[in-house]
Amino acid sequence: MLDINGGEVLFLLVIALFLFGPERLPKFAREAARVVRQVKLMAAQARSELSGHLGEEFKDLDLHSLRDLNPRTLVTRTLLDDTPRPPAPSRSVSPRPARPPVSGGERPPYDPDAT
């Protein structure tokens, strides 16, 4: 999720130490951990409520397939992945039924909303 290495974490800790001071830093760390826990809990509750409202048809919905719809993931997979993908299934379009030709003095059908 976050792409932060050890040196960057150390740098952030030093900045936080200068900003908050050594006395208040533990209090802010506890508060940040509490906020992160609350956000995770809210996300889990929202996910369970959403799956409850979607019904039985969406119970087998795979979250990994939803992640594949992310534009960044799609572009990365398309441009950087060298493994061949199976071709997309072609959608066959059924032709419209042919209308019978207009006879002698009959007027052709007219749709005022189409013009």
**pTM exceeding 0.75:** no
Alpha-carbon gap, residue 40 to 46, rounded angstroms: 10
Classify residue 45: in a domain, yes or no.
Answer: yes
Residue type, 69: L
Classify residue 102: in a domain, yes or no.
Answer: no
Average pLDDT (4-19) is 85
Residues ≥6 apart with Cβ < 8 Å to 51? 58, 59, 61
CB 21 within 8 A of CB 29: no
Q: What is the pLDDT of residue 83?
A: 64
Residues ≥6 apart with Cβ < 8 Å to 20? 28
Q: Which tens digit of pLDDT belongs to each residue from 29-40?
A: 899 899 999 999
Q: Which tens digit of pLDDT belongs to each residue from 44-99?
A: 898 888 777 777 766 666 655 666 677 777 777 777 766 666 666 666 666 667 77
Residues ≥6 apart with Cβ < 8 Å to 16? 25, 28
> 90 φ, ψ to 5°?
-80, 140
Please state the domain count of the chain: 1
CB 17 within 8 A of CB 25: yes
Q: What is the pLDDT of residue 89?
A: 62
> Residue 59 is part of which domain span?
7-80
Classify residue 114: in a domain, yes or no.
Answer: no
Q: What is the pLDDT of residue 57?
A: 67
Alpha-carbon gap, residue 49 to 62, rounded angstroms: 16
Classify residue 1: in a domain, yes or no.
Answer: no
Q: What is the pLDDT of residue 38?
A: 95
Classify residue 97: in a domain, yes or no.
Answer: no
Classify residue 89: in a domain, yes or no.
Answer: no
Classify residue 32: in a domain, yes or no.
Answer: yes
Classify residue 58: in a domain, yes or no.
Answer: yes
Q: Which tens digit of pLDDT belongs to each residue from 95-109?
A: 667 777 777 778 777
